[in-house]
Amino acid sequence: MWSFNNLNNFLGNDFLNISEPFTEEYTCYPVSFIGKDDMENGNKIILPQTALNALARRHISWPMLFEVSNPYTEKRTHSGVLEFISDEGTCHMPYWMMQQLCLKEGDIVRVTSVSLPKGTFVKLKPCSKDFMELSNHRTVLETALRNYATLTIGDNIVIHYLGKTYEIKIVDLKPAFACTIIETDVEVEFEEPFEKVQYVEEVIPVEESKFKGKGQRTDGKACKNLKKEKVRQKVIENPEPWKEKLVGGVRTKCAEYEDLLKKGRIPGIIGKLIERKP
C-alpha cells in the first residue's frame, strides 16, 4: 500500500511542501557566458526550467523575487528573475552581483524565494562625484532603475552611461532592509559622494650600509669588490678668495710688477726697452 511518502517521492519532493519557500543551490556563472551582456544593467538572474516548475507548484505570484546569498560567507542580496533557460543546476547572474557576494565562476550560490514590500524611500551615495556632475543624473538614475527588481541596503548598484560605469551605494531604504521597486513610486535622496583618495608614492632613500668590513667566500677565494661609483671632485684654486680682496677693488701695489718696470721689461711705461749688457 502506498503512503503519502511514496506519493511525495513519485511526484517530486516539492509536491507536498508547497507552503515552504523555494530554496535551491546552484553553480553560478556570469550572464556573459550565455551572451546576455545587457543584463549587467540590472539585478535579474536566469534559472533552469526545473526552478519554474517548483515555483509554480508553490503558487508563487509574479513578480518572483529571491534572496541570493553566498552559503559560505552569509553575504546576501536580492533580485528578480528574467528567464528560466539556464542549464540544469546552474544560475547566471550579472558579474557585479557575483562581486557583491564574493563569488567566482563555478562557486555555489543559494537562491531562496521571498516576498518583499514595495519601496517608498531610498537614500543613495554615489561612489564618486562624477555621477553628480552629470547634468541629467536623476534621469539617468530613473532609466537605470527600470532594470532593477529590488534594492538592498549596503549594495553597490552599477549604472552604465555613455561608456562609463558608475557605482552607487544603497545607504537607506523604507519600509524595510530590502524592497521591490517594480511599479512603484520611490522618493530618492542623495548623500554627498565619496571623495576620491589620491595615493602619492613616497620614495624612501636607501641607507648606506654601515658594514665596512670585507666578505669572505667559503672556498677561500678572494671576494670581488663591487665597483664603486666614481665621484668627480671639483678643484678649487683658491678656497678662501675673500682673504685676498682688494681695497676699493683695485690693486695698488705689486712687487713683481714694479720690478719689471724698473728693468724696462714693460715697454711704453718707463722709457724704452733697454738691452741687458753681458
pLDDT digits (tens, 9 = 90+) for 68-82: 999 999 899 999 999
Is residue 92 within 8 Å of 51, Cβ to Cβ? no
**Beta-carbon neighbour count of residue 117 at 10 Å?**
13
Q: Which CATH number does the domain housing residue 150 bear?
A: 3.10.330.10
What average pLDDT does range 88-93 have in this prediction? Answer: 95
Rounded to the nearest integer, the mean pLDDT of the chain is: 77
Torsional sign, CA 172, 177, 178, 184: negative
Residue 79's DSSP bridge partners are 66
Give CA–CA dist 113/65, Å, rounded: 6
Q: Where are the beta strands (DSSP E) in 202-253?
A: none
Higher pLDDT, 273 or 124: 124
Domain-embedded: residue 105: yes
| Count helices and strands in the chain by DSSP H and E runs | 5, 12
The mean pLDDT of 175-190, rounded to a whole number, is 92
**What grid cell was written down for 240?**
678662501
Categorize the per-residue pLDDT at 260 as very low, low, confident or very high, splitting at 50, 70 and 90. Answer: low
CA distances in angstroms from 224 to 215, 218, 228, 272, listed in the order given:
9, 13, 12, 70
The continuous run of DSSP H or E covering 189 comes out as strand 187-190
C-alpha–C-alpha distance, residues 110 and 114, integer Å = 13
* Cβ proximity of 49 and 84 under 8 Å: yes
For residues 85 and 136, membership in a common domain is answered with no
- How many domains does the structure of the chain reveal? 2
Same domain (yes/no): 70, 126: no
Give the rounded distance of the alpha carbon of 170 from its chain centre.
19
Q: Is residue 197 part of a domain?
A: no
42-51, 92-101, 113-122, 203-212: range with lowest mean pLDDT: 203-212
Query: Residue 142's Cα: distance from chain center in Å?
Result: 26
pLDDT at position 269 over 50 = no
Given 113, 131, 158, the domain boundary residue is 113
Range of the domain at 140: 121-190
Residue 38 belongs to a domain with what CATH number? 2.40.40.50
The strand pair at 65-69 and 76-86 is best described as: antiparallel
Instruction: Tell me the per-residue pLDDT of 192-222, one tens digit each, with 9 for 90 and over.
Output: 887 654 444 545 555 555 555 666 666 666 6
Average pLDDT over residues 52-70: 90
For residues 40 and 93, give the distance between their C-alpha atoms in angstroms, rounded to a whole number: 8
Q: Which of 16-30, 112-126, 164-178, 240-254 has the lowest mean pLDDT?
A: 240-254
